[in-house]
Amino acid sequence: MSLKKGSKAPDFTANDQDGKLISLKDYKGKKIALYFYPKDNTPTCTEQACSLRDNIALLKKKGITVIGVSADSEKKHKNFEKKYSLPFTLIADTDQKIINDYGVWGLKKLFGREYMGIVRTTFLINEQGKIDHIIDKVEAKNHAEQIIETWGL
């Protein structure tokens, strides 16, 4: 399934960093920034998470709930959350079902080497559960501002 602007966001149910079951439908009526990132505690992923952390008050003021998703385990997410004081939900998609449903598993290139992995992507989901925007050229250092600007808030 190829998602695009206006598509219904695929629902999901998975555990967060605290082992709590989280479903997208729990957030109906809210704006969601659902961001997919490759791996906890790596430089660019940390930079992105910290941009969101440092601007969480502004994001909340704009009515945006942040949810991160990677294939890391609950335990790795918990360590990442504690190490960087992350004030948002991190979904442990260890079976990569959500990653595949959102189509963010793909070919990547690093230092000339090609491999398969999570392509850093953020889906901006509106209050009705539809995708308003897909950010596929993520600016990790300025990601919070990028979300607000893309959404026009």
Q: Which residues are catalytic?
A: 45
Question: DSSP of 31-82, one letter per residue?
Answer: EEEEEE-S-TTSHHHHHHHHHHHHTHHHHHHTTEEEEEEES--HHHHHHHHH
**What is the C-alpha end-to-end distance of the chain, expressed in Å?**
29
Residue appearing with tokens 């990601």: 143
Bridge partners (DSSP) listed for residue 70: 92
- What is d(CA 64, CA 124) in angstroms, rounded to the nearest whole number? 9
- What is d(CA 57, CA 62) in angstroms, rounded to the nearest whole number? 9
